[in-house]
Amino acid sequence: MLTKLLNNMKLHNKFLIMYVFCVIIPLVITDAIVFYSIYEQEYNNRMYELENIANKYISTIESTVVYNARIARAICENEELNHFLDERYESKSAFFIRYYEFVSKSFFKSLVSTRSDQVTIFVDNPTIADSMYFKHMYKAVNGEWYQRFKETGNQDALLVFYDETADPLTEREQTFYYVRKMHLYDSTCDKLLRIDINSSELRSQLLRISSEYPMYVCNGDYVAFARFGEDVKNLKITEVEKDHKFEVHKVYSAFGTDLDIYIFSDELLISSIIMSNLWIIIILLIFTLIVPILLMKTIEKSLSSRIMKLEAAFNGDQVDKFQPIDCVEGSDEISTLMQNYNNIVSVNHSLINSLYKDKLKEQESDLSRKNAELLALQSQINPHFLFNSLESIRMHSILKGEDETAEMVEKLAVMTRQNVEWGNDLVTIKKETESIEAYLYLQSYRFGDRLSFDVDVDKECEDFLIPKLTLVTFVENACVHGIESKSSAGWIFVRVYMKDQDLCMEVEDTGGGMSDDEIQELQRSIETVSIDMIKGKKHVGILNACLRLKLHTDSNVTFTIDSEVGVGMCVLIKIPISKLKTSN
């Protein structure tokens, strides 16, 4: 179906289809696969890089939180500090004296003075005055962070939120709080430790990890702070996500709080590579698309122009109007075809020039054939005079009482009539048998008691057609070369029968026979018999009969010769029934 469709297309359309399906589509598919593989690899590399950065961010945040938690634990479990906070002071001056003495000599100052994170302890002790590190508990009760801590119900917690109730002069609105209860078994008042984690310091640490990609730390849906330090108050992460293409999301859980870390990337490296090499890509497209199209058009023109010349040359209305093609260019197959066309035209002109001579010869041949037919018709009349003459001799012999002579003339007439019948070389086996019997009857007058014969033909074989005088030839050979060469009496047997879908014809004699060498020579002559072979050779009659049988059966006939010197000879002829016709 496809071949039929292509055969009806113009050469231009065939080249276009070949270019589209053999160049464009494979090129596009190949480029798409390559670009997709590069994109996939770049995407995986980028996501892997973002994952590593996110893990580093989590590790940095975790180290900051865990460090503050350890500091808080060390402070909360210090008995000296707890006793200092539980002690009742007579006056504020007594507290400050004790405060400076404690801070200057205890470990507490060494822990909190070198840190950027602010440490504050809220104490439910009315004799303690507000200072840098210690404040009354009632100042914490009204803070949002305190309410959030109580809601957790835990002994310590990490709080991340915007504390709008914080004092803008002394506290940061946007902050991380680590809060821990201070309680010993002999404590006389409630104490609460709060460490305000410095967000700016933490952001600086994260910035040292990577400054390439936007990063946001969120508590729930709200952004706690961003890597670039922009104003993220009341900013939701859902508003950020829609502005970026690639995202990595990690969760860090600590002290009952989940921190969501988001890292974004706006474009992959391949995008920037494509944009930076846009002109190179355009040039490649020109060479892979436009240049092949121009080259295909040139090749198409080279082929189609010469094919059109051939088409115009072959469009002549008559053979004698064919003209040679001028200026055959090139040495490819089409050029060879054009040169062959010119050769054909040249030969054609020569044939046209000799046409009249051929017509004259043909007319002469027709006249000769007609003359031969007239002679054949004339020769058809001649046997009638012979048969009339033989009939006159037979009738005269009967009137004179010479019955044997009359019978001999009758048998001779039978043989002669079959031999000279006009228009058909085939005869039924029944007719051939009559000729055999007539011939053997005549030979019996020659050999007398030395010749006996028996002709046995099955009834079902009588209507098959064979070339006339073929069996008679083998019978004649049995008389001349068999019975005549033997002084004693002999027999000739003729048998025709069916066997295994073959017609079998046997001619056997009890004459002098043949030697093995003679049989082999005769067998080879029969197998390779031709018209040239039967000219001037011995056994001309047998070879003639064998050749006619081969021609009649398309060589589907076998000849088997069995002979022994002094005993006799037997010739068996086998022909497949499918190769024979009948008279019906």
Instruction: State which H helix or E strand residue 165 sits in.
Output: none
Instruction: Evaluate whether 191 touches 202 at the Cβ level (below 8 Å).
Output: no
145-165 average pLDDT score: 83
Instruction: Evaluate whether 257 touches 157 at the Cβ level (below 8 Å).
Output: yes
270-286 average pLDDT score: 68
Instruction: Evaluate whether 524 touches 540 at the Cβ level (below 8 Å).
Output: no
pLDDT score at 407: 67
Instruction: Evaluate whether 78 touches 108 at the Cβ level (below 8 Å).
Output: yes
Question: Of 26-30, 140-144, 418-422, which gets the smallest average pLDDT?
Answer: 418-422
Residue 576 bridge partners (DSSP): 502
Question: Of 268-277, 365-374, 437-446, which gets the smallest average pLDDT?
Answer: 365-374
pLDDT tens digit sequence for 42-66: 778 878 888 888 888 888 888 888 8
User: Helices (DSSP H) in 77-133: which residue ranges?
Assistant: 79-86, 92-105, 108-112
pLDDT score at 380: 41
Residue 387 confidence class, pLDDT cut points 50, 70, 90? very low
456 pLDDT exceeds 90?
yes
Instruction: Give the pTM.
Output: 0.45
Report which of 149, 153, 133 is spatially closest to residue 141, judged by C-alpha positions: 149
pLDDT tens digit sequence for 5-19: 766 777 667 777 777
Tokens of 146: 């305190």
Measure the CA–CA gap between 53 and 442, rounded to whole angstroms.
Answer: 128
pLDDT score at 420: 52
Instruction: Evaluate whether 140 touches 192 at the Cβ level (below 8 Å).
Output: yes
Residue 410 confidence class, pLDDT cut points 50, 70, 90? low
pLDDT score at 263: 83
Residue 399 confidence class, pLDDT cut points 50, 70, 90? low
447-465 average pLDDT score: 90
Instruction: State which H helix or E strand residue 378 sits in.
Output: helix 355-400
276-281 average pLDDT score: 69
Rg over CA atoms, the chain: 64
Domain ranges of the chain: 12-276, 277-353, 354-423, 440-579
Query: Pick the residue with more confidence: 507 or 315?
Result: 507
Measure the CA–CA gap between 481 and 479, rounded to whole angstroms.
Answer: 6
User: How much is the mean pLDDT over the chain?
Assistant: 77
pLDDT score at 499: 93
CATH 3.30.565.10 fits 440-579, yes or no: yes
Residue 384 confidence class, pLDDT cut points 50, 70, 90? very low
pLDDT tens digit sequence for 282-308: 777 777 777 777 777 777 777 777 777
3-class DSSP assignment, residue 531: coil
Give the whole-number percent of the chain exceeding pLDDT 70.
73
Residues contacting residue 223 through CB under 8 Å, at least 6 positions apart: 216, 217, 232, 235, 236, 237, 240
Chain-centre distance of CA 8, in angstroms?
A: 25
